Amino acid sequence: MKANTIIYPVRDLASAKSVYGALLGTEPYMDEAYYVGFRIDDQELGLDPNGHAQGMSAPVPYYPVDDINASLAALTESGAEQVAEPRDVGGGMLIARVRDADGNVFGLRQEPAE
């Protein structure tokens, strides 16, 4: 399984949108005040202007999971620490963040039920 979403916390959304647009050579597919998203094939790069306020201090890779609660349970049982409760970020998509024993943070992303 590979992380197919990486979220960058940004303070200046307009500047970040310009920089990552130049890097990726494309316009964002989603351009809102709360999130700007770019897609290249099956990889998403997101810019979150609220990320710092939510405790993000660096880019966070998000891994797709079928059941976010079961995945969190398995990860915490294996030694990970949950750092953000599952929350709906719109349209039923759920995300949560965990930290491994070395302090590395990564996220889980569950697609909305069909």
Segments making up each domain of the chain, as ranges: 1-61, 65-114
Q: The CATH number of 1-61 is which of 3.40.50.2300, 3.30.720.120, 3.40.47.10, 3.40.220.10?
A: 3.30.720.120
**What is the rounded CA–CA span in Å between residue 77 and residue 40?**
34
Complete DSSP assignment for 61-84: EEEE-S-HHHHHHHHHHTT-EEEE
For residue 32, name the pLDDT band (cuts at 50, 70, 90): very high
**Same CATH topology for 1-61 and 65-114?**
no
Which tokens belong to 40? 């290249």
Residue 38 bridge partners (DSSP): 45
Mean pLDDT within 54-75: 94
Task: Report the amino acid identity of residue 72.
Answer: L
Mean pLDDT within 72-88: 95
Give this prediction's pTM: 0.85
Instruction: Please tell me the predicted confidence (pLDDT) of residue 55.
Output: 87
**What is the rounded CA–CA span in Å between residue 26 and residue 81?**
36
Q: The CATH number of 65-114 is which of 3.40.50.2300, 3.20.20.190, 3.30.450.40, 3.10.180.10?
A: 3.10.180.10
Instruction: Please tell me the predicted confidence (pLDDT) of residue 114.
Output: 75
For the stretch 10-27, pLDDT in tens is 999 999 999 999 999 999
For the chain, helix, strand, coil in percent to 5 are 20, 40, 40
Which tokens belong to 48? 């979150």
